[in-house]
Amino acid sequence: MAADMTPLRLLALDGDGIGPEIMAATLAVLDALRPALGREITVDHATIGFEALKASGSTIPDAVVDAALAADGVLLGPVSHNAYPPRDEGGLNPSGVLRRALDLYANIRPARTWPGTKAPARGPVDLVVVRENLEGFYADRNLHLGPGEFMPVPGVALAVRRITEEASRRIAEAAFTLAETRPARRVTAVHKANVMRVSDGLFLDTVRDVAAQHPNVTYDEMLVDAAAAHLVRDAGRFDIIATTNMFGDILSDLASELAGGLGLAGSLNHGPRHAAAQAQHGSAPDIAGQDRANPVSLILSLGMLLRHLGEAHAADHLTTSLATCLARPQTRTRDLGGQLGTRAFTDTLVQTLAETGP
């Protein structure tokens, strides 16, 4: 039982493409987990993406942001933001908007191999990429006003990268705090300070300062190109990777693919007061509505959110039941070599939760 018995409120945002299907699966799993929860959880719903754009002129209306701020946690389905109209026509990236509005500075992306599933990695993988989420090169989040990319004259494009000591310290603290909960207790800072001496130099100096305050955690450093090579060669050497926004985005996708694919990779965005669970993969509009989507990524993200909110028992129960389903071909989705569609897999997982819980 959680120490705090205050009921929790979650906000579910389906998103685009396969979003409604995998959200329905995730909420069915949440319902099945209720006997294992220490607190009551209620779920509110709001609309984002193309449906919201059609109804209100924005892919994420202000009322949705207000609802997210009022919730204890957000379940965010995938969105087709690359297909949205320009920002001045209402085409905002809901994920980016929520990251800034809720101060979700840490993107936590585990990558692990699951017994019974195929993975390109040469050995077992069990690592977490802890990615800074609010600055770096990405144009939608690195300046107070205006984009970080601009074209002063035709044929010349420039991009501004923002790295601050404050953001670097926050993500480093998140990485070392997480490392202290894991058996290996190891943090690898990934950077490119040999070329970006000022910006990555600032990041690296800050991480070193935080590392000195955590002597029980083993600490090392690696250039980002070397880290990519080592992930392919021996991903098992990594435990926690702490890095900046763009490097973390790229390396987490690589790690997840090596461990079996983005469909088996959860993701949690968190800040000082808010958290949002989000599947690592995209909206896959080409298979939307066909009962073909694998809902595991968002379901795993739900588990991460529950753990973040103090519901470790329910999160452990979910992880164990998922492992049981993934271990057998007859209880996997088609993309993992099984025969189950989205709904049948969800029903199987719900049944497994009931048989092994709470």
Q: Which of 140, 253, 291, 316 is catalytic?
A: 253
Active site residue 249: yes
Strands across the sheet containing 275-278 = 41-46, 8-13, 73-76, 275-278, 268-270, 106-112, 126-132, 240-243, 186-191, 218-223
Single out the catalytic residue among 14, 72, 105, 138: 138
> Residue 266 half-sphere exposure, CB side, CA atoms within 13 Å?
29
Whole-angstrom Cα distance, residue 338 to residue 141?
Answer: 40
Cβ burial 215-241 (10 Å sphere, 16+ → b, else e) = eebebebbebeebbebbeeebbebbbb
Identified catalytic residue from 4, 205, 225, 234: 225
As a whole number of angstroms, the distance between CA 351 and CA 337 comes to 20
> In sequence order, what DSSP letters do the residues of 139-160 get, joined into one string?
TTTSSSSS-SEEEEETTEEEE-
Q: What 3-state DSSP class applies to 304?
A: helix
Amino acid at 260: G
| Residue 258 Cα distances to 7, 239, 245, 253, 357, angstroms | 38, 15, 20, 9, 31
How does DSSP classify residue 184?
A: S
- 84 tagged catalytic: no
Q: Cα–Cα distance between 233 and 122 in angstroms, integer?
A: 7
Tell me the DSSP string of 270-292.
E-SS-EEEE-SS---GGGTTTT-
Q: Is 253 a catalytic residue?
A: yes
CA distances from 61 to 12, 49, 105, 261 (A): 14, 10, 22, 32
Strand partners, 107: 131, 269
Instruction: Exactly one of 14, 200, 239, 249 is catalytic; name it.
Output: 249
> Cα–chain-centroid distance for residue 189?
19
Asked if 31 is an active-site residue, the reply is no
Catalytic residue check, 192: yes
Catalytic residue among 16, 192, 200, 219: 192
Catalytic residues: 138, 192, 225, 249, 253
